[in-house]
């Protein structure tokens, strides 16, 4: 009689642990999914923005704009809006404004054009 009750309690304990584990996993997965929404603003450093743009140009320099949001303290500041200057085949573009947004994969970002400045 006691062996049957012990088996039932043991199985009930296992089922309870499985249910709790599944609930915690689902809660953490949904929290992570909400935290990463592609296309929303993303904080990156000036160096990350400059190197991202340099892949398409001969030279690029981006400076963060604090009034559109920044986090951290110098020298580890991160921004999500930048003014960039670029050079390609001898022509210069200045005051090119871009916004860093979250990419489609977790941890990746892309730069979205906000305004193209003057090119000469």
Phi then psi for residue 106, to 5 deg, are -60, 130
pLDDT recorded at residue 32? 56
**Size (the chain), residues:** 120
First-to-final CA distance of the chain: 91
Per residue in 12-56, pLDDT tens?
667 666 766 656 565 655 555 568 899 999 999 999 999 999 999
The answer to whether residues 41 and 64 touch, using CB atoms and an 8 Å cutoff, is no
Which of the residue ranges 5-9, 29-33, 110-114 would you say has the lowest mean pLDDT? 29-33
Tokens of 99: 């916004």
- Facing residues of 119 across strands? 93
Q: Which of 111, 109, 107, 85 is CA-nearest to residue 32? A: 107
């Amino acid at each position: 009689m006691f062996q049957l009750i012990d088996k039932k309690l043991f199985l009930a304990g296992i089922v309870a642990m499985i249910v709790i584990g599944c609930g915690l996993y689902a809660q953490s997965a949904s929290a992570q999914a909400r935290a990463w929404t592609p296309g929303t603003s993303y904080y990156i450093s000036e160096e990350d923005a400059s190197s991202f743009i340099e892949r398409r140009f001969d030279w690029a320099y981006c400076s963060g704009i604090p009034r559109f949001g920044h986090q951290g303290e110098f020298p580890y500041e991160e921004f999500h809006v930048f003014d960039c200057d670029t050079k390609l085949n001898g022509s210069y573009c200045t005051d090119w404004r871009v916004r860093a947004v979250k990419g489609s994969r977790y941890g990746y970002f892309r730069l979205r054009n906000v305004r193209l400045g003057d090119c000469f």
